[in-house]
Structure 1
Amino acid sequence: MKIDTQLLNSVQKDDLEALGIGAGILGTGGGGHPRVGKLRLLTLLEDDEYPDAVDIVQPTDLAADATVASVGGMGAPTIGVEKLPNGQEEINALESIERFAGREVDALIPGEIGGVNSIVPLCVGLMTGLPVVDGDGMGRAFPELQMDTFFIYGHPVNYAAISDEHGNTISYQDIDSAKRLEDFARAATVDMGGRAGYAFPLMDGEFVTEYSIPRTLSLIHELGRRVLDAQSGGGDPLGAIQETVDGRHMFTGKVTDVLRRNKEGFARGEVTLASLDDDTDLTIEFQNEFLIARDDGGSVLASVPDLICLVDKDTGLPVTTDALRYGQRLAVLGVPAPELLKTDAALDVVGPKVFGYEIDYHPL
């Protein structure tokens, strides 16, 4: 994945359209619908009570002892579109871990750079006055919270909290593993109606600098901007995406079948596309995010942790798992995962076998 981009210093109203497109593409179908986050942030930026920009800082600019927290939402994307937040969930969770730890947070960072969870930290940053780090813990979206580089590379689950739209907040301290926190928080999120805001863990600036995937807010902004420029200038949006993220065009087809269900707090299912050029099919399985793509002979074309991105074949606009519909004409793009997701330690947490696929990972 390319990350040599023009760096953001702030996010303003004019940046939202590009951010939403880029977040949707790197969300690989999940991470929550970026339109929800975009509308939340737009409402705040137009409110005189808040500043007209969110400050962005680079991971390398963090003080070694700065306190950094990840904030966002968890739950099934299908529910996140229908069950709108009240806007305080993540702040309630953040304030809970600050009280628990007895110290204040200096900066926020997205846990993932896909979908709504790319934009929610910007909302919280604007409301609290905290800067947001230009980076994240996934370089994409993943369905479970332990699947970020912070936990993969050994950060303890020291403080965590989730909160719903009614202000009900559950706090956790010193959980013995990130997977156990995922299980606890996922069950509580289901009881909260399928969507909750989170804050976890509390990290220092030195750790974030070393183990975050850098410049990903800048990347989604540039990605969205290039798609918009291609649309307005009569260019090729698909080519713009591939050039920006070193992507590979794998398939173009019409959606002929979608199987989708909410189960245990996830949107699970598969989508089948029929080629527009010949008689072949492609099937993609998902759990919130697109995980594995197979041709009609069963051969794997791409698998997690590499990104499988579905976009409109003409406009390049992203399509999330909850928005899949019969008859859509889509292009399927493969994007190489960040290097921090391709180590042995990472593959033990985010590789295809973790999701039940008995295949070896072969990077794009």
Structure 2
Amino acid sequence: MASFMVNVEDMDAIALGGAFLGTGGGGDPYIGKLMARQAIARHGPVKVISVDELADDALCIPVCMMGAPTVMLEKLPNGEEAREALAQLETFLGRKADALICIEAGGLNSTIPYAVAAATGLPLIDGDGMGRAFPELQMVTLTIHGISATPMVLADDKGNSSVINAISNRWTERLARCQTVEMGGAALVALYPMSGAEVKRGILRGSMSLIKEIGETMASERKASRNPADALVRRLDGNRLFSGRVVDIDRRTIGGFARGRAVFKGMEQDEGRTFTVDFQNEFLICEDDRGDLLAVTPDLICALDADGGLPVTTEQLRYGLAVTMIGLACDPQWATPEGLELVGPRYFGYERDYVPINQLSR
């Protein structure tokens, strides 16, 4: 896919698309959108390049937010943390980065890298490590391909920072999560430094293009006074899971994660039924009142406001909110034994096996 430029005006669509693919997590993209718009207005547009344009010896670094999305509603980044994390990782490695990467195609982490790219003049790669959002930092296809998360740098809004070297990506998550909690529940990080050759092997391609296209579709449908749900289901070959109104919500911030369950009372064609959706930062499993599975991680469960058609994140769920839930098939890498070990339902404590969404009733 060819490279393209991202201007201030493009960030609205990118924030929309990222929020949708974020499966309820990744943080509210609005904050990252404001940071990116400001950086692009000041420094100029961001170039998004194809993976194939990378030299094999290029140094590529993802930058992202780590922590509970609920924290970001009250604890805004000051705009310098991500650049500080990147600069300190470059110093540690003794080399400047050649390109930046989005670690996940969702929420805040689909917009913050644009702010850093604009401020540094570095290109952003058209791809990511998840094709959606997941709650733990080892949950990327890079792990499947043996790429190390460390050395990693964390930076907070107070000026604190630290470097982590760990024996595995799972240990990186454990150590970094503890520090993130101590940093107030959220930190900006630079991690998974890798070569262009490793990027070509491990990344999910075309994510940034897809995010922008999804956002543009949503904006076009909303401008025509249509809810984008039907258009997105057609474009992404998805499943409409249900439409319902929140009648109960249990949400807590535990160990640096926003965990909980939402109960929905069915609306329209789903009148008379109830549905539950469990989440850990992201929506993970959707069932109906008979206990039938409608969708489960690593497939995507995406929420749209049933009235306005805007993406809904887990921290935005509230009593009375009407939503339409859409299910999408995950990238094939996640459906492998190695992928399911990282992000399958049993990892999250559910006593059931993964069933691909295209094998569940539409």
Please list the CA deviations of residues 282-330 of structure 1 after superposition, one character each: whole Å capped at 9, or x if unmatched: 0000000000001111121110000001101243210001111111111
Q: How many residues align?
A: 355
User: In structure 2, which of residues 131, 154, 158 is the aligned counterpart of residue 162 of structure 1?
Assistant: 154
Q: Mind listing any 5+ residue stretches in structure 2 that lack a counterpart? A: 358-362
Q: How far apart, in 2, do the equivalents of 1:123 and 1:55 lie?
A: 12
State the partner residue of 1:257: 248
Q: In the TM superposition, what whole-angstrom CA distance separates every residue of 1:74-114 from its partner, at most 9, and x where no partner exists?
A: 01001012100011111111112211111111000011010
1:313 and 1:330 in contact (8 A); partners too: yes
- Could you tell me which residue of structure 1 aligns to residue 18 of structure 2? 23
Offset of residue 252 of structure 1: 0.4
Q: Which residue of the other structure, out of 195, 204, 209, is the alignment partner of 1:204?
A: 195
Equivalent residue for 2:111?
Answer: 119
Q: Measure, in 1, the Cα distance between the counterparts of 2:184 and 2:105.
A: 24
Does residue 230 (structure 1) correspond to residue 225 (structure 2)? The answer is no
Cα offset for 1:7? 5.8
**Distance in 1 of aligned mates of 2:50 and 2:281:** 29
Deviation at 1:153, TM superposition (A): 1.7
Contact 1:65 1:205 in 2 (8 A): yes
**Inter-partner Cα distance in structure 1 for 2:164 and 2:38:** 31
**Does the 8 Å CA contact 2:303/2:312 hold for their aligned counterparts?**
yes
Q: Which amino acid in structure 1 is aligned with residue 204 of structure 2?
A: I
1:292 aligns with 2:285: yes
* TM-score normalised according to structure 1 size: 0.95
Return the TM-score normalized by structure 2: 0.96
Aligned 8 A contact 1:146 1:152 in 2:
no
Task: Give the C-alpha shift of residue 124 in structure 1.
Answer: 0.6
Contact 1:237 1:314 in 2 (8 A): no
- Runs of at least 5 residues in structure 1 that lack an aligned partner in the other structure: 1-5
1:24 is aligned with what amino acid? A
- Asked if the contact 2:89/2:152 (under 8 Å) is kept, the reply is yes
What SS class does the counterpart of residue 326 from structure 1 fall into? coil
User: Which residue of structure 2 aligns with residue 3 of structure 1?
Assistant: none
Secondary structure, in 3 states, of the residue corresponding to 2:138?
A: helix
Is the counterpart of residue 301 in structure 1 residue 294 in structure 2? yes
> Is residue 352 of structure 2 the alignment partner of residue 359 of structure 1?
yes
Q: What SS does structure 2 have at the residue aligned with 1:37? A: helix
Whole-angstrom CA distance in 1 between matches of 2:91 and 2:11: 32
Work out whether residues 150 and 169 of structure 2, in 8 Å CA contact, stay in contact via their aligned partners in 1: no
Find 1:81's aligned residue among 49, 66, 73. 73
**Aligned residue in 2 for 1:10:** 5
- 1:338/1:200 Cα in 2 relative to 1: closer, same or farther (>3 Å)? same
1:42 corresponds, among 37, 44, 48, to: 37
Residue matched to 2:180: 189
SS of the residue aligned with 1:355? coil
Q: Equivalents in 2 of 1:209, 1:315: separation in Å? A: 38
CA shift, 1:276, in A, is: 1.0
Alignment of 1:261-280 (within 5 A): 261-277=252-268, 278-280=271-273
Query: What's the counterpart of residue 46 of structure 2?
Result: 54
How far 1:186 sits from its partner (Å)? 0.5
In angstroms, what is the RMSD of aligned CA positions?
1.2
The answer as to whether partners of 2:18 and 2:105 remain within 8 angstroms in 1 is yes
1:236 and 1:324 map into 2 onto residues whose CA distance is: 19
2-side partners of 1:57 and 1:165: how far apart?
A: 30
